[in-house]
Each structure stands twice: as structure tokens, then as C-alpha cells.
Amino acid sequence: MRLRRAIFAAASVLAIAAATPASAEGVSIDDIVNDHKSTGNVLTNGQDIRGQRYSTLDQINTGNVAALAPAWVFSFGGEKQRGQEAQPIVSDGVIYITGSYSRMWAIDAKTGDEIWQYDARLPEGILPCCDVVNRGAAIHGDKIYFGTLDAQLVALDKKTGKVAWRKKIDDFKAGFSYTAAPLIVPSKHGPLIVTGVSGGEFGIVGRVDARNVETGELVWSRPTIEGHVGTLNGKKSTMTGKKNETWPGDMWKWGGGATWMGGTFDPDTKSIFIGAGNPAPWNSHLRPGDNKWSCSRLAIDPDTGEIKWGFQTTPHDGWDYDGVNELVSFDADGQKLAATADRNGFFYVLDRTNGKFVRGFPFVDKISWASGLDKDGRPIYIKENYPGDPKKAKDGKKGKGVFVVPSFLGGKNQMPMAYSQQTGYFYVPSNEWGMDLWNEPVSYKKGAAYLGAGFTIKPIFKDHIGSLKAVDPISGKIVWEYKNKAPLWGGVLATAGGLVFTGTPEGFLKAFDAKTGKELWKFQTGSGIVAPPATWEQDGEQVIGVSGGWGGAVPLWGGEVAKTVKYLNSGGSFWLFKLPKKMAAN
């Protein structure tokens, strides 16, 4: 096992070793759309443009995973540790991985040697909400792309790490930032690179942008809050919704709905699926109405930027239940479906052709803000569990508080789930916690926090917070559950070897039997894992790769829960695992 420490400086690119030569054509849009059919590369964030995070590789399986061992580890180095939430992109024997503080590395997948490193030159005054994380890159042609905390999109030459182009997404001084992995999709304009925005807690307005992959020039833009107007080919296009239909007065102007998790693409319906976050401010008494299209999953036409359909999981959100979690396409019972596990604690199955509600059910325990979902998937609210209006308080400063489950960090947050084509189950990394929540007066000011609420997160069980669940999307049953003492914050990978992989804050990468949930293997990486694992084949061997490094929102926003995990150490590394050759040959 070799430790490779990166030496870095701001905006530096270091050419250290030669990589396996890339193909002359580079990565095509067909390669990206068919990523799930390729075992030698990982070209999308999700191992599949649909986001299933399922691999057909089965060399590592339930019978031999106990022998899985590290081949090498690469250190991200320096003092810039914090949370490492990125999934790797792998192409032609090169791993492209992003890290905290808007950095990227190209690593030789065979040896763990650094090829190059790029560090964004971040300005003073950036306003990231939930740690200095980055969730990954996108690849096309001869370029590798990622976004930065000061809300810029950067295209790098994938061989050298040199900047090909850089485009401003928006003004970081107003609260905009960018943390998601970009999405590359086909369109009549050619391949487009699709990005969202972060910053809902600062009153920014969410939107989805699509750019030319070669030049970075904007092709279309679609706001997620009604009343705002999109663009197409440099001109105004259509308004999102109808102004003031579900937003009062001028509240829509600073309405939130940040698209901070990125999206997936469904080749069958030719739709971009992306989620919009919480409405702003958190104080719901200032904005009566459904507040569309916050807390929603949206299907967007890649040719025009028009919204095909929207499904709102938490209309008139009063608990910060962002609707950003990934919408994953799958087929079952002869239907074209899509599923999402929402922050609000409910699991939803939709008809992905039209967005119609098929079924929904809780995937966490003790949900207290709603008693269930109606026939259209709309929550049946428990009105007394909305936090009170500060205007009705004697001092006008603090409304009546409530204790509500789940907490605003959600039944599921940024950590992506996986779908197994082998079992038909979704594997959902979830958390069981609640929060004390109250509203406060607030008004919008550019670049300032725009919450109007106070909160404290608390555990609801003594023995665990984290819970990895196998969910049957057809029956609505929880098939099995693995309980973890600390919150789960890392993504999941499912494979045809009958395995489910995920990491824990305690530092373990673990493998479970996909059918039964039995823990079959674990390895201590030295720092908490809050990133999704990936798998691919190189030189005839299946390998597993994952970033390690504790951080993210939990230690920053976790209240009483944060105190229970304060002993966990931050870090920054990338680990590659494979079977010993004798085992792999069996």
C-alpha cells in the first residue's frame, strides 16, 4: 500500500506521471448515455446517466468479498481536509476525483500515482452553506468539468489539467455557490453540460443552466420558482409557472428552490430530472401557498429548457425539506417509473412519462409532520406541527416551537441511493432524527442568511441514527435494515455480485448481502466516508474505489447529534480495493 501526498498551490497544475493514453476520439455522448453498459469506465455520476448506481460486474461477490483488500491509497494532502463527497469518474485507466475546496486530481488507476492536480483560486467571502464539499466531475471529449464554491464552471484538458474555459454561474457575493457534479446530456443543440445552483439559505433563486460542452456558452436557463423567466439561445423564453399563483407579493423574487444536488437523465423520455430545494425563507408564515416549484422534482426538456412536468413533495414547506434528492429511473410491472427518497421521510414512485404519483410510503420512523400521503401524493399535514408564527408571540421574536421528525437534514440528504436490477430493491442511506424548530422574523438582504428559523437536531433512538434500508418500491416494504450509531452520510453502490457497498462516519467501507442485509466485509479507512463508492474493471479485475474524509453538513448543523460525533477525524484520501489475484482467479 503506497501513500501519495499531493503537493499543491493555488491554481496550480502539476504534471507528475504519464497515464494510460486516452482514446483518440475521447468520450462521446453515446458513451455517456450507455455508461451502464460499460464495465471498464465510470463516465457518469451514478455509474449510469439514470442514476441507478448498479454495476453488472460480479467478480467480487458474496462468496469472496471477505478477501477484498486495499491496492493503494492516494492522499489529498495538505490542511484542506473537511468533507470529501465526490464519486470518481474513470476513463481509459485514469481516475478523476474532486475534493474539498474545489480541487481536482487525475490519478493513474493502476498505481495510484498522481498525473496532475488543479486547485481553484477561491476568493475571500465565499458563502457555502454546508461545508466546502464538491460532489464530482463530468467528462466529455477531451475535457473534464467541475464546479467551484465561488459558483464557476471549469473545463479542464483531461490529459494536462490545464484550463480550457471557465464560466461564471452566478455571483458568489449574493450567496450562490456550486457543489454538485455536472450532468452531460444529448440534445438537438449537441451535447450540453447541465448545472444547478446552491445557496437557498441566502434567498437566491434556483435554476438549471445548459451550456455548450465545447465553449461553455449558455444555451438555455430555467428558473425553478414561479414568476421568473427563462432564456433560450440568448433571448427570454417563457415564465416558470404564473407569477403570484402560489407565492404572495414579492416573496417569489427571493424564493429559494436551489438545485444543489445535480440531476439525472432518462433516455426513454429524453428528460432531465432534477430537484428543487426548500422555499426561502424557512419561516413559512411569510409565504402562504404551495410555493411552486420549491421542494419539487422537475422533468426538463433538454432541447428547450421547458418544464415538462413537476411533482412537489412538500408544498408550503415549513421544515426545510428540500426536494433535491435524486430521481432514479427504473422499469417494473411493464411501467416506466422513477423513484426518489425525500428529505421529508417519504419514498415516492412516479410515472416518469408524466410525473403522476404511483405510490408513496414512509422509509424512516416516527414521521410527525404529516400522517401520510393522499391519492395524488400530497402530504396530509399535521397542522399543529408547523412551527408557530412569530407575529403571534408576545414579543414578536420567536414563534411557538415544535418537535418534528425527521430533522431538516432529512430522512435522506445528499448521499445517493442505489437500485439493484438483480433484487429490484432500492438501497437507501437514511437517518432517524428529529428537531426542535421555531420561526423568527426575517427579511431579505443580499448575501445574508435568509432563514427566519432556529433549530436543534436530536436523536430519536438510543442505539442508532444511521439506517441503511433495502426498500421494495412495489410493495412499499422495508426488506432489511442495517443500523449505524452515527448518521449515514455516504452514498451506496449495488452490484451483480449480490453486494451493496456503503461507507460510515466511523471510517468503515462496508459490504452487505443485497438480499439479506448481512454484513460480509468492512475496512477501516481512517476517516469517515461521506462519498459514494464506484466500481469498474481494469486489466481483467473488478476494483472498488471510494473517497474518504469526514465532514459535510452533520458536524456543522447537527446540533446535539454533532456533539455525539465530535470525536471523528477529518481526512482526505482515495482508496482502491481489489481481490488478491489468487482469489480473483477462483
Asked if 574 and 97 touch (Cβ cutoff 8 Å), the reply is: yes
Q: Are strands 138-140 and 114-119 parallel, antiparallel or unpaired?
A: unpaired
In three-state secondary structure terms, 563 is helix
- Please pick, among 131, 266, 290, 320, the residue that the annotation labels catalytic: 320
Q: Tens of pLDDT along the chain (586 residues)?
A: 333 333 333 333 433 333 333 344 699 999 999 999 999 999 999 999 999 999 999 999 999 999 999 999 999 987 778 899 999 999 999 999 999 999 999 999 999 999 999 999 999 989 888 899 999 999 999 999 999 999 999 999 999 999 999 999 999 999 999 999 999 999 999 999 999 999 999 999 999 999 999 999 999 999 999 999 999 999 999 999 999 999 999 999 999 999 999 999 999 999 999 999 999 999 999 999 999 999 999 999 999 999 999 999 999 999 999 999 999 999 999 999 999 999 999 999 999 999 999 999 999 999 999 999 999 999 999 999 999 999 999 888 899 999 999 999 999 999 999 999 999 999 999 999 999 999 999 999 999 999 999 999 999 999 999 999 999 999 999 999 999 999 999 999 999 999 999 999 999 999 999 999 999 999 999 999 999 999 999 999 999 999 999 999 898 887 888 888 888 888 899 999 999 987 555 5
- Determine the pLDDT at residue 16: 33
What is the domain count for the chain? 1
pTM, full prediction:
0.94
Bridge partners, residue 84, by sequence? none
CATH of the domain at 16: 2.140.10.10
- Determine the pLDDT at residue 586: 56
35, 57, 180, 488, 536 from 298: Cα distances, Å:
23, 32, 17, 26, 31
In three-state secondary structure terms, 252 is helix
Instruction: Kindly give, in sequence order, each residue whose CB lies less than 8 Å from that of residue 289, ignoring residues fewer than 6 positions away.
Output: 245, 246, 247, 248, 316
169, 186, 212, 235, 435 from 189: Cα distances, Å:
20, 8, 8, 16, 46
Domain assignment of residue 532, given as a range = 3-33+42-585
- Determine the pLDDT at residue 583: 58
- Determine the pLDDT at residue 19: 34
Whether 320 is catalytic is yes
- Alpha carbon distance 452, 374 (integer Å): 29
